[in-house]
């Protein structure tokens, strides 16, 4: 953006940093071993947010709950209320076990995925007097095995503070106009898949996200370069590269709540997401936001000719050889061999 001549419009130069989450995560001392098998916190088991930071060990027999020993609690036997949040129900069950003398609890055979349980660590419930952990399906299978005679279990829970941030990158073209057009594209992808949102089952490797969304980011930067040198002066332009989209639109939500200009001055927004692959049927998607209005309010597959006609209704003039259409985070349009540079939109 700086090379293209865009002015910085973030809180710190071009950057706008925001908090994705604040909570806790398993500390270095967190461990679980069953017989001779050791397991990894955050991947195979998760300490629950109400757990005490303590250790517990014992020889545990299946279906036997004795004082001063670790209790194995089958989640399927808990009769969870599907209409109530699960975390308080887990906490009540663990509190009952502590009251009856358990030295620790292991919840197994739950239907939740490990990322959902890890998200509970952002909560801050009252801490119990005993350690409590949740284990994944593989460990659950081991604990409920029909031929299991007993388990030598050794566990410990420790926490450390966790804060995760993201950073939007914001550039500005000031034409001295009363209205501003926002151009956006998210530049985050899946990292190494550490948030358990990858479909890959292979080795740990960087997810480059060429389509989702290096394509949109490249289009954003190219539009910025062209608009800076263009003669279009009826609107100002804000270009935003969003972070945190894959985790839940964190960057765009923060930008909307902390925009560097008044949202009342915004004409419309164009968002570019997965605009790269040629030959794929695309669709135009739009809608209304309490601040922003997309160009097309009728989602559906359209022809390039109709798309061009739609844009002309909004005062957009197609230039050069391809046309870039507006959309949303869930369905941005890119019609191959067409692009549209923003013209004198009224």
Choice among 43-52, 162-171, 202-211, 307-316 with the minimum mean pLDDT: 307-316
Q: How many distinct structural domains can be found in the chain?
A: 2
| pLDDT one-digit tens code per residue, 68-104 | 999 999 999 998 999 999 999 999 999 999 999 999 9
% pLDDT > 70, the chain: 76
CATH number for position 300 = 3.40.630.10
Q: Of 113, 130, 157, which residue constitutes the final position of a domain?
A: 157
Claim to verify: residue 201 and residue 314 sit in the same structural domain: yes
The residue count of the chain comes to 346
CATH number for position 44 = 3.50.30.30
Q: Which two tokens stand for residue 281?
A: 């049927």
Claim to verify: residue 121 and residue 93 sit in the same structural domain: yes
Is the pLDDT score of 257 beyond 80?
yes
- Average per-residue pLDDT for the chain: 80
Claim to verify: residue 168 and residue 303 sit in the same structural domain: yes
252 within some domain: yes
Claim to verify: residue 147 and residue 168 sit in the same structural domain: no
Gap between the Cα atoms of 326 and 223, Å rounded: 13
**DSSP string for residues in 20-48:** EEEEEEE-TT-EEEETTEEE-BTTTEEE-
Cis link prior to 135 (omega < 30° from 0)?
no
Rounded average pLDDT over 265-284: 74
Gap between the Cα atoms of 123 and 94, Å rounded: 16
The confidence band for 57, taking pLDDT boundaries of 50, 70 and 90, is very high
Question: 144 is in which domain, residue-wise?
Answer: 29-157
Q: Of 108, 131, 157, which residue constitutes the final position of a domain?
A: 157
52 within some domain: yes
Q: Of 139, 157, 175, which residue constitutes the final position of a domain?
A: 157
Claim to verify: residue 181 and residue 290 sit in the same structural domain: yes
276 within some domain: yes
The confidence band for 276, taking pLDDT boundaries of 50, 70 and 90, is low
Claim to verify: residue 54 and residue 194 sit in the same structural domain: no
Rounded average pLDDT over 297-319: 43
**pLDDT score, position 344:** 38
Residue with tokens 């049927």: 281
More confident position, 50 or 245:
50
More confident position, 173 or 196:
173
Claim to verify: residue 190 and residue 58 sit in the same structural domain: no
The confidence band for 145, taking pLDDT boundaries of 50, 70 and 90, is confident
Claim to verify: residue 143 and residue 239 sit in the same structural domain: no
346 within some domain: no
**pLDDT score, position 231:** 82
Which pTM value belongs to this model? Answer: 0.58
More confident position, 147 or 183:
183
The burial class, CB within 10 Å (0-12 / 13-18 / 19+), for 192 is: exposed
Claim to verify: residue 76 and residue 194 sit in the same structural domain: no
SS (H, E, C) 306-322: HHHHHHHHCCCCCCCCC
**pLDDT score, position 198:** 66
Claim to verify: residue 40 and residue 72 sit in the same structural domain: yes
Number of separate helices (H) and strands (E) present in the chain: 6, 16
Cβ contacts of 181 within 8 Å, gap of 6 or more: 235, 236, 237, 238, 266, 267, 268, 269, 270, 342, 345
More confident position, 201 or 54:
54
Question: Which conformational region is residue 288 in: left (phi greater than 0), alpha (psi within -120 to 50 degrees), or beta?
Answer: beta
Claim to verify: residue 41 and residue 138 sit in the same structural domain: yes
342 within some domain: no
More confident position, 95 or 246:
95
CB 189 within 8 A of CB 209: yes
**pLDDT score, position 247:** 76
User: Among 182, 202, 169, which Cα is nearest to 272's?
Assistant: 182
62 within some domain: yes
**pLDDT score, position 320:** 32
User: Among 271, 269, 266, 222, which Cα is nearest to 242's?
Assistant: 271
Is the pLDDT score of 326 beyond 50?
no
Is the pLDDT score of 300 beyond 70?
no
Cβ contacts of 96 within 8 Å, gap of 6 or more: none
221 within some domain: yes
Claim to verify: residue 169 and residue 123 sit in the same structural domain: no
The confidence band for 137, taking pLDDT boundaries of 50, 70 and 90, is very high
Is the pLDDT score of 290 beyond 80?
no
1 within some domain: no
More confident position, 94 or 188:
94
Gap between the Cα atoms of 67 and 107, Å rounded: 17
The confidence band for 5, taking pLDDT boundaries of 50, 70 and 90, is very high
């Amino acid at each position: 953006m700086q090379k293209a001549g865009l002015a910085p419009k973030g809180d710190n130069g071009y950057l706008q940093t925001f908090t994705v989450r604040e909570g806790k995560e398993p500390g270095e001392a967190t461990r679980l071993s069953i017989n001779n098998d050791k397991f990894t916190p955050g991947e195979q088991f998760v300490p629950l947010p109400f757990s005490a930071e303590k250790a517990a060990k014992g020889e545990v027999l299946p279906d036997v709950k004795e004082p001063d020993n670790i209790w194995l609690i089958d989640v399927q036997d808990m009769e969870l209320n599907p209409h109530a949040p699960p975390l308080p129900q887990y906490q009540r069950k663990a509190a009952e076990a502590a009251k009856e003398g358990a030295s620790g609890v292991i919840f197994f055979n739950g239907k939740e995925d490990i990322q959902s349980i890890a998200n509970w660590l952002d909560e801050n419930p009252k801490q119990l007097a005993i350690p409590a952990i949740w284990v994944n399906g593989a460990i659950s299978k081991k604990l409920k095995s029909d031929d299991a005679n007993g388990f030598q279990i050794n566990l410990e829970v420790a926490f450390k503070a966790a804060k995760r941030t993201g950073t939007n990158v914001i550039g500005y073209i000031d034409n001295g106009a009363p209205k501003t057009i926002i151009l956006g594209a998210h530049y985050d992808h899946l990292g190494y898949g550490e948030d358990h949102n990858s479909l890959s089952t292979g080795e740990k490797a960087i997810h480059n996200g060429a389509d989702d969304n290096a394509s949109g980011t490249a289009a954003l930067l190219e539009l910025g370069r062209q608009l800076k040198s263009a003669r279009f002066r009826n609107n100002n332009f804000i270009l935003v590269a969003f972070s945190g989209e894959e985790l839940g639109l964190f960057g765009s939500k923060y930008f909307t709540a902390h925009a560097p200009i008044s949202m009342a001055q915004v004409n419309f927004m164009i968002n570019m997401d997965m605009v790269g692959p040629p030959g794929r049927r695309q669709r135009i998607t739009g809608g209304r936001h309490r601040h922003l209005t997309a160009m097309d309010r009728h989602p559906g597959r359209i022809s390039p000719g109709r798309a061009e006609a739609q844009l002309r209704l909004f005062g957009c003039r197609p230039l050069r050889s391809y046309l870039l259409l507006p959309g949303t985070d869930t369905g941005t349009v890119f019609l191959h061999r067409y692009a549209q540079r923003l013209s004198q939109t009224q």
